[in-house]
Amino acid sequence: MSDPEVPNPREARSSPDPRTPLPGSEAITARSQPILSIRDLSIAFRSGPREVQAAKNVSIDVRAGETVAVVGESGSGKSTTAAAINRLLPGNGRITGGQVIFEGRDLALLSEREMQSVRGSAIGFVPQDPMSNLNPLMRIGDQIAEALEVHGIAGGSAARAQVVQLLRMVGIPEAERRANQYPHEFSGGMRQRVLIAIGLACRPKLLIADEPTSALDVTVQRRILDQLQQLTSDMGTAVFLITHDLALAAERADRLVVMYQGEVVESGKASEVLEDPKHDYTKKLLGSAPSLTSVSMIAATSAVFANPASGVPGGTPAQKNLMEVRGLTKVFPLRSARAGEATSFTAVDHVSFEIARGRTVSLVGESGSGKSTTANVLLGLESASGGKVLIDGTDMAGLSRRELFAFRRRVQPVFQNPYASLDPRYTVQRSIAEPLGVHNIGSAASRRRRVGELLDQVALPASMAERLPHELSGGQRQRVAIARALALSPELIVLDEAVSALDVLVQAQILELLASLQAELGVSYLFISHDLAVVRMISHEVHVMQAGRVVESGSPDEIFANPQSDYTRELLAAIPGAHLSVARTPE
């Protein structure tokens, strides 16, 4: 389906159609013409003896100063299309038809040497995964300076000054000091900000941003996107935004392009697509986006979570606390402290809360607030510096090695990136069965049967058992991670950003799965997230963390309807799409 002609909202109403050649075309302003014009682009990947079509006849225009957001579920072809623009397709991928016209040149026809002069300087790129896109052996500042030096923007002390300015621009505190640190010394959100700084370093004419803020909390996300918007306004930089977050796309983009199964199924002004979606798939996306969902729909989705007593085996009301956190403190030493600087950092500062059986407790807050460190202490991956963590009244600090091993059967984690937490060499069968083997539970035959039961519980077919992680979608991998966490029949599952990297449809499926598992098994959840819209849907109790402390606690309704803390109000105000008007989803 071709991309319909939709004028840039920033253009004058009298601008001529840029696709129509006119005499005296030099009089047409540059901003009225597409800086990027993708025409009937088709892309295929070789899989064994055959080719698989990943994109079919995709047509998208992006004008100077315009933000175009491409949305769709995992596998829809949006990231593949973005990779083709910069000629960064994997080795088994190729452009089989169409054109990618950038500033009058078809990028598909350029030599590799010519493309190298385009990448970075004229077309910036912000990838999604900071761990695989930052060099672990180079200091952060050197990696940003490299982008400036390679393209002749600045060198030496001038480059260093720009590095500090870029780090400040993307919200990195103590920019001069942090520039000397390595990627492992940054949080995931801060590493993502570094990638954004690298992408903006040469002030490109077009910025391709592939899920640039999926790992960021809402306040940092807003700061970054405000900066991108400022660039668009000041410099005419075009932004090609790839995202699974429809609310974010709707709030930030001039135009939305919806992709499904490799094709563009709908395109238009963001406001028009929201208010009057034409395609059934677009309507489905809108209905699944948490921050675009009506309050009544949220209530319906969270009905199971809101009634934990019904999910406890035997129908016994869930009152007794499974875990109690009392005055928890975690202090990290700073190895490279200078004279006069603090020699330690308090990541968690006297945090207290309880987790009852069969309930979902959420910790929310921005990157660096201490929520993941709290989770790591509860999992026994970090030791507490102070306070207590009690499980069924027993202090974890007093557990023997044998008792701690038994504790791990009761508390299991599900992390953000299932690809990183699954061994790429292990089949699904082996990954799920591994905890059973570690704890010497059952025979090989009984473990195989248990894996079949777990796959059924997480709504995956038995045929998945022999697949490897790279053969699964992101949502399927996360289901495998949940199945593995369930293998030992735990009483508590700690979910650390477990749905933040998933598209809205898969996210909705995983949340529904978690709700049904809680109803069936009576399992408790500690849900760590920066996505307040999701937290509102699934939580019984919410604790808001800032700078290592809990600044507000309450039910989701209390927190969202009547926040007491300025920080909580700031978090709520930063939720993308919360105030947008959308079409009513059919019942």
What mean pLDDT comes out for the span 122-131?
A: 81
Say yes or no to pLDDT of 298 above 50: no
Residues 6+ apart with CB under 8 A from 307: none
Name which of 246, 186, 238 is nearest 214 in CA terms.
Answer: 246
Reported as a pLDDT band with limits 50, 70 and 90, residue 65 is confident
Reported as a pLDDT band with limits 50, 70 and 90, residue 43 is very high
Say yes or no to pLDDT of 286 above 90: no
Domain 1-122+254-288 indexed as CATH 3.40.50.300: yes
* H helix runs in 139-213, sequence order: 140-150, 156-169, 175-178, 188-200
Q: What is the pLDDT of residues 478-497, one digit of tens each?
A: 889 989 999 999 999 999 88
129 vs 175, which has greater pLDDT?
175
Say yes or no to pLDDT of 300 above 70: no
- State the pLDDT at residue 540: 94
- State the pLDDT at residue 3: 40
Any idea which architecture 301-419+490-501+518-573 has in CATH? 3-Layer(aba) Sandwich (3.40)
339 vs 132, which has greater pLDDT?
132
Cβ-count burial of 320 within 10 angstroms (0-12 exposed, 13-18 middle, 19+ buried)?
A: exposed
- State the pLDDT at residue 473: 73
Q: Which amino acid is at 238?
A: A
Cα separations (Å) of 490 from 289, 322, 473? 30, 11, 26
330 vs 31, which has greater pLDDT?
330
How many percent of the chain have pLDDT more than 70? 85
502 vs 583, which has greater pLDDT?
502
Say yes or no to pLDDT of 243 above 80: yes
Reported as a pLDDT band with limits 50, 70 and 90, residue 341 is low
- State the pLDDT at residue 218: 76
Please check whether residue 319 is in contact with residue 308, taking contact to mean a CB–CB distance below 8 angstroms. Answer: no
The lowest-confidence range among 253-257, 363-367, 502-506 is: 502-506
- The rounded mean pLDDT for the chain is 82
What mean pLDDT comes out for the span 221-248?
A: 80
Kindly state the tokens that stand for 533: 């819209």
Q: What is the pLDDT of residues 158-206, one digit of tens each?
A: 899 999 999 988 878 889 999 999 998 887 678 888 888 888 888 889 9
Say yes or no to pLDDT of 221 above 90: no
109 vs 366, which has greater pLDDT?
109
Q: Where in the chain is the domain with CATH 3.40.50.300?
A: 1-122+254-288, 301-419+490-501+518-573
Reported as a pLDDT band with limits 50, 70 and 90, residue 15 is very low
Buried b (16+ CB within 10 A) or exposed e, 414-429: bbbbbeebbeeeebbb
Q: What is the pLDDT of residues 538-585, one digit of tens each?
A: 899 999 999 999 999 999 989 988 999 999 988 888 777 666 655 544
- State the pLDDT at residue 539: 92
Residue 169 phi/psi, 5-degree rounding, is -60, -35
- State the pLDDT at residue 362: 95
Please check whether residue 84 is in contact with residue 43, taking contact to mean a CB–CB distance below 8 angstroms. Answer: yes
Cα separations (Å) of 355 from 319, 358, 407, 552? 10, 9, 16, 16
- State the pLDDT at residue 239: 92
Paired with 492 in beta bridges are 411, 524
393 vs 295, which has greater pLDDT?
393
Say yes or no to pLDDT of 278 above 60: yes
Say yes or no to pLDDT of 107 above 60: yes
Reported as a pLDDT band with limits 50, 70 and 90, residue 342 is low
- State the pLDDT at residue 373: 92
